Structure 1
Amino acid sequence: MPFQVASQKPDITYSDVGGCKEQIEKLREVVETPLLQPEKFVKLGIEPPKGVLLYGPPGTGKTLCARAVANRTDACFIRVIGSELVQKYVGEGARMVRELFEMARAKKACLIFFDEIDAIGGARFDDGMGGDNEVQRTMLELINQLDGFDPRGNIKVLMATNRPDTLDPALVRPGRLDRKIEFALPDLEGRTHIFKIHARQMSVERDIRYELLARLCPNSTGAEIRSVCTEAGMFAIRARRKVATEKDFLEAIQKVIKGYAKFSATPRYLTHN
């Protein structure tokens, strides 16, 4: 099955997402408010956004934020991997898109999250290959479905991509994807927050300098920081300790973060317990 339907609402909340404060505020405005307080739009006489494009490098929180919004709104969460809609049989991808929106309409509230949308939403060109024609058929059906539902209804569409420059202008024009939200690499404050989020689920020693750890992970994504925290826990397990120390985190940074050697950490940091 090319799409995953959450049987219960996602367990991710806004407090579980670090380094995305601005992005969460924008998502709340364009997804949460229309679903929870639709009367605000009715009173003003405006249509809420139908869809939102989330773009940025992998591991920067796009999927996490989508799950958090679904949690907050109690909406059914359907995740679709774009590449899985690309089928070898003619018309199969378009049929899946139709079935997906039919399923969404049957829900009280539904958030459809298309991940890797560039797999089917790329700019159109024809090189005579049937596969590309099938991709275009799938995308045209998606556009047709976006045009076919009421923006004041119970469906909201989020799409995520690492390559926004490759998307077909017809897909991202206003009236289909009305908002575009960038997920950039987290800054120092964001990275520090991400470390704290993961550390609170771990057994760690007190007085760990999370800002120091964040400074040692420049240009890192939230996913990479999560890997650092996991590796720090592994160092503690190998040493048969019940808590992870700051030294474990520092050694994990050395192991996980590429290019760490370029940023000189003094011996004092590397031997600190």
Structure 2
Amino acid sequence: MVFPTYENEDVEEKKNNVDPVKDFEKTYIAELESKILKLELENKNLQREIIQLKKENEILKRELDKLRIPPLILGTVTDKVGKRKAVVKSSTGPSFLVNISQFVDHEEIVPGARVCLNQQTLVIVDVLPREKDYRAMAMEVDEKPDVSFKDIGGLDEQIREIREVVELPLTHPELFKKVGIEPPKGVLLYGPPGTGKTLLAKAVAHETNATFIKIVGSELVKKFIGEGAKLVKDVFKLAKEKAPSIIFIDEIDAIASKRTEALTGGDREVQRTLMQLLAEMDGFDSRGDVKIIAATNRLDILDPAILRPGRFDRIIEVPPPGEEGRLEILKIHTRKMNLAKDVDLSKIAKMTEGFVGAELKAVCTEAGMFAIRENREYVTMEDFIRAVEKIKKKKGSGSTTPALNVMYG
């Protein structure tokens, strides 16, 4: 006899009595809660990003404010009036009776002190250390450079040209007078960094017994108003005092790039410096005993005004050396080295395609260092091969000469 099971009947009855509306509500609520959690997480992430962006925005604002600050005027104290006033002769020319900022120690304001003035208020805002002479720092003066044309390899054509336009007018000015022509006032050397532009300028100064005065274009662009133009004046004045002399302006593109509408104080200062340079060049005799040589690796960005006749009217390209030129340079830099019999400079010249003079010199130095590390008194071919590989890696990483198609105008 089988007895009926009521348990199964109860379960079946419960299943049949499930409310589909309530079941849908539960599922829908669960989905909404899941979405809310996701949105809350996204919101937190976005809040964090907003905070980070605000911080970055503040940093950029501060940097922008710094760039918008007008450049300072450099001046020299000529007299002090009381504790908080002084008479200052500015680098732009005129003298002013100015106030001394409360942040500046008034005891440091004495006649002869070099100070910085706010461009708008003319208040003294800083005192420069006495030992800090920007003009002396920016200028390199060599009474007798020890570089000769024998120290330069692979630039025979460039040497011939620079001797004609710089050396000949200094040593035989009467030749130009007899023929009735004016020698070039300025010579512009252009090419990649490390190709020997500075060496050419020093060598011609050596051959003519001229004082070599070097200044870097970027040093002429100062934070202080009028200082760049004043430095140009000082350079030309010094060149005349030490004549015969050669002024060499490296990185001239820093002050002589194509002019646009100047929007910042820095741009206007660069323009003032360039105008002073042009004025100085226009104001001296090309047959005199002061010659100007400039160098750049960005010929394409130079202002056409500086290239017109009567200024830098002779342009000489100084390209990377070919294989024969590299061999000449290697011979120059290894002539004092103790080389093993297996060293083949011709092979090294072939291995170093694309190298400029400065890099070839570095190869020779590195090869010597490898010999020293192994306690040898001579340099082997293996040392040179390792040195070439090392310099090639530096070139590849961009830590030496920039790519020619980037910087070579």
Instruction: Kindly report the root-mean-square deviation, in angstroms, between the aligned alpha carbons of the 2 structures.
Output: 1.4
Q: Is the 8 A contact 2:190 2:298 kept in 1?
A: yes
Instruction: Verify: 1:199 aligned to 2:334, yes or no.
Output: yes
Counterpart check, 1:5 vs 2:5: no
Corresponding residue SS for 2:260: coil
TM-score of the aligned structures, taking structure 2 as reference length: 0.62
1:209 Cα deviation (Å)? 1.3
TM-score, L = length of structure 1: 0.93
Q: Percent of aligned pairs with the same residue?
A: 53
Which SS does the other structure have where 2:158 is aligned? Answer: helix
Instruction: Report the counterpart of residue 194 of structure 2 in structure 1.
Output: 59
1:260 deviates by 9.4
Looking at structure 2, the residues matched to 254 and 207 of structure 1 have their Cα atoms a distance apart, in angstroms, of: 18
Deviation at 1:208, TM superposition (A): 2.4
Q: Which has the larger radius of gyration?
A: 2
Matched residue type, 1:163: R
Unpaired runs of at least 5, structure 2: 1-136, 397-409
More strand by share: 2
Instruction: Confirm or deny: 8 A CA contact 1:228 1:257 kept in the other structure.
Output: no
Between the two proteins, the alignment pairs up a number of residues equal to 260
For residue 150 of structure 1, what is the aligned residue in structure 2? 285
Aligned pairs (5 A) from 1:33-44: 33-44=168-179
Q: Tell me the amino acid that sits aligned with residue 52 of structure 1.
A: V
Q: Which of 119, 123, 134 is the matching residue for 2:269?
A: 134
Q: Does the residue aligned with 1:23 lie in a helix, a strand or coil?
A: helix
Runs (5+) with no aligned partner, structure 1: 262-273
The DSSP-based 3-state class of the residue aligned with 1:178 is strand
Q: 1:248 aligns with which of 377, 383, 386?
A: 383
Which residue does the alignment assign to 2:371?
236
Runs of at least 4 residues of structure 1 off by over 6 A?
A: none
Q: Which residue of 1 aligns with 2:300?
A: 165
* 1:231 Cα deviation from its structure 2 partner: 0.5
State the partner residue of 1:84. 219
Helix, strand or coil for the counterpart of 1:9? coil
Rounded to whole Å, the distance in 1 between the matches of 2:231 and 2:271 is: 14
Higher relative contact order (CA 8 A, sep 6+): 1
Residues in 2 aligned to 1:203 and 1:32: alpha-carbon distance in whole angstroms:
35
Q: Distance in 2 between matches of 1:62 and 1:258?
A: 24
CA gap 1:93/1:190 in 2 versus in 1, 3 angstroms? same
- Given that 1:216 and 1:260 are in contact with CA atoms closer than 8 Å, whether structure 2 keeps it comes out as no
Distance 1:59 1:168 in 2: 23
Contact 1:217 1:260 in 2 (8 A): no
